[in-house]
């Protein structure tokens, strides 16, 4: 089901090249649709939002039902298993504790020559979080976006999420939002939701930033509104790369590969190992476990089109493959993961050892599971508190420190032909000589 390649063979290298092209898919048709939706919402506000919600979700919304009510939130608590509510609270606590460590304070330094330099850190005022919903609601993704924003100190947080076929929002999604003090929740999904957040409509004030994962239409809509507002990143399909040596356990490796493939196409699901025997045992274990999976049809298709296993001569070669692919999730099922970590350059999140499966990070571990995908771990970072703050530089010069740098500024600015810049220095010098 998953084809096994010798990394150093021609087919192996060709497969790597194929994986590297996963960010170059032609989405021209989808982009054209998204641009039309975004422009329509920008121009026509609620009217366009209602139109596209009816078209794509089959639900009629209006100014009376677009926003989730307090009664709907209360009902969500009443019909949700109390044990699940406690699990959500525990996850919020763990994720909050992790992100509290990311908080940074501003600073000011006073120098003896009369200069003052510093940096001011302030949270964004208003943020919109997109939460996937409809057929497959993802309350965990909402949690992983809301917590960093709350820890950063964002005053106003808005959630947009698509309704199900009955016009309702998933109960766990509402509970996550409520537990984190968010009650401005809108029953809108897709590109129209992103545009609504970015530009504002009659029903909602615009935000400063849109964050959160979604479909290709959501991702492209975020790309379209970037510049009007900030965005977190352009999220793509989830992915995993597992590096294993002889210490890897076939049943664990198979389970983790199946968990990734459960997301469906196109979710890259990759094993890299120094042991051909381990690769073979893992493939057999996949067949055994797959028979018991309720989502085996989805998984089979994903593994067939997006799965791959590579046999390498050394862990150095394994690290080389990882750094080329720059996966969202990297699992190091090796004897000494810390030693191998020194050779890892690109990964959204790194999981150490046989007892740290990706699923822990998805729900309970602590770091946000909103991670760079599609090779963007080469330059993007996981969603964090830093995504929800902005920084301002602070500077002050007295007369003495100003004079010390004045000639340098004049020379530099005149070299660029910006004589008015130089004059703003010279006029002060003349004033001092009077």
Is position 328 annotated as part of the catalytic site?
yes
Bridge partner residues of 352 (DSSP) = 332
> Which of 173, 208, 199, 215 is closest to 49 using CA atoms?
199
Q: 3-state DSSP helix/strand/coil percent for the chain, to nearest 5? A: 50, 15, 35
Distance CA 188, CA 41 (A): 12
Distance CA 33, CA 179 (A): 36
Cβ neighbours for 14, distance < 8 A, ≥ 6 positions apart: none
Is position 329 annotated as part of the catalytic site?
yes
Choice among 329, 414, 416, 432 that is catalytic: 329
Tokens of 10: 């021609």
Tokens of 385: 């508190």
Tokens of 352: 């150490």
CA-angle at 99, arms to 96 and 101, nearest 5°: 120
DSSP states of 14-71: HHHHHHHGGG----HHHHHHHHHHHHHHHHHTHHHHHHHHHHHH-----TTTSB--HH
Kindly provide the residue ranges of all beta strands, DSSP E only, lying in 367-425, ordered along the sequence.
Answer: 389-397
What is the total residue count of the chain? 434
Question: Between β-strands 115-123 and 107-110, what pairing exists: parallel, antiparallel or unpaired?
Answer: antiparallel
Q: Identify the three-state secondary structure at position 13.
A: helix
Q: Are 303 and 269 in contact (CB under 8 A)?
A: yes
Choice among 239, 285, 328, 358 that is catalytic: 328
Backbone angles phi, psi at 187, to 5 degrees: -85, 65
**Per the omega criterion (within 30 degrees of 0), is the bond before 266 cis?**
yes
How far from 234 is each of 17, 212, 372, 408, CA to CA, in Å? 22, 9, 8, 42
Distance CA 369, CA 205 (A): 28
Residue numbers annotated as active site: 328-329
């Amino acid at each position: 089901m998953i084809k096994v390649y010798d990394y150093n063979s021609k087919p192996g290298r060709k497969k790597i090249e194929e994986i590297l092209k996963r960010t170059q898919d032609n989405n021209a048709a989808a982009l054209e649709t998204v641009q039309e939706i975004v422009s329509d919402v920008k121009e026509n506000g609620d009217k366009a939002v209602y139109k596209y919600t009816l078209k794509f979700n089959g639900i009629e919304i209006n100014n009376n039902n677009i926003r989730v009510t307090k009664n709907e939130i209360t009902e969500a608590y009443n019909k949700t298993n109390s044990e699940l509510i406690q699990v959500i609270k525990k996850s919020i606590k763990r994720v909050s504790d992790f992100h509290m460590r990311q908080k940074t304070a501003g600073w000011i330094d006073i120098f003896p020559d009369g200069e003052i330099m510093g940096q001011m850190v302030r949270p964004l005022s208003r943020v919109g979080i997109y939460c996937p919903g409809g057929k497959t609601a993802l309350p965990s993704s909402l949690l992983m976006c809301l917590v960093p924003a709350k820890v950063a100190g964002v005053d106003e947080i808005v959630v947009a999420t698509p309704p199900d076929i009955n016009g309702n929002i998933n109960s766990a999604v509402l509970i996550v939002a409520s537990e984190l003090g968010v009650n401005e929740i809108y029953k809108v999904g897709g590109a129209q939701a992103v545009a609504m957040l970015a530009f504002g409509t009659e029903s909602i004030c615009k935000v400063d930033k849109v964050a959160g994962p979604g479909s290709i239409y959501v991702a492209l809509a975020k790309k379209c509104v970037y510049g009007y507002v900030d965005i977190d990143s352009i999220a793509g399909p989830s992915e995993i790369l597992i590096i294993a040596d002889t210490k890897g356990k076939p049943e664990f490796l198979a389970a983790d590969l199946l968990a990734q493939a459960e997301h469906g196409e196109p979710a890259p699901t990759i094993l890299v190992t120094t042991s051909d025997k381990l690769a073979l045992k893992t493939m057999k274990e996949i067949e055994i476990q797959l028979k018991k999976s309720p989502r085996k049809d989805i998984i089979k298709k994903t593994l067939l089109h997006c799965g791959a296993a590579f046999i390498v001569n050394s862990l150095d070669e394994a690290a080389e493959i990882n750094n080329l692919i720059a996966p969202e999730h990297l699992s190091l099922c090796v004897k000494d993961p810390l030693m191998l970590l020194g050779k890892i350059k690109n990964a959204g999140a790194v999981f150490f050892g046989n007892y740290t499966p990706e699923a822990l990070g998805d729900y309970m571990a602590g770091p946000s599971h909103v991670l760079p995908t599609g090779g963007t771990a080469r330059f993007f970072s996981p969603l964090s508190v830093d995504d929800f703050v902005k920084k301002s530089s602070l500077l002050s010069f007295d007369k003495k420190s100003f004079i010390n740098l004045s000639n340098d500024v004049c020379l530099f600015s005149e070299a660029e032909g910006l004589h008015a810049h130089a004059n703003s220095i010279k006029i002060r010098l003349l004033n001092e000589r009077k």
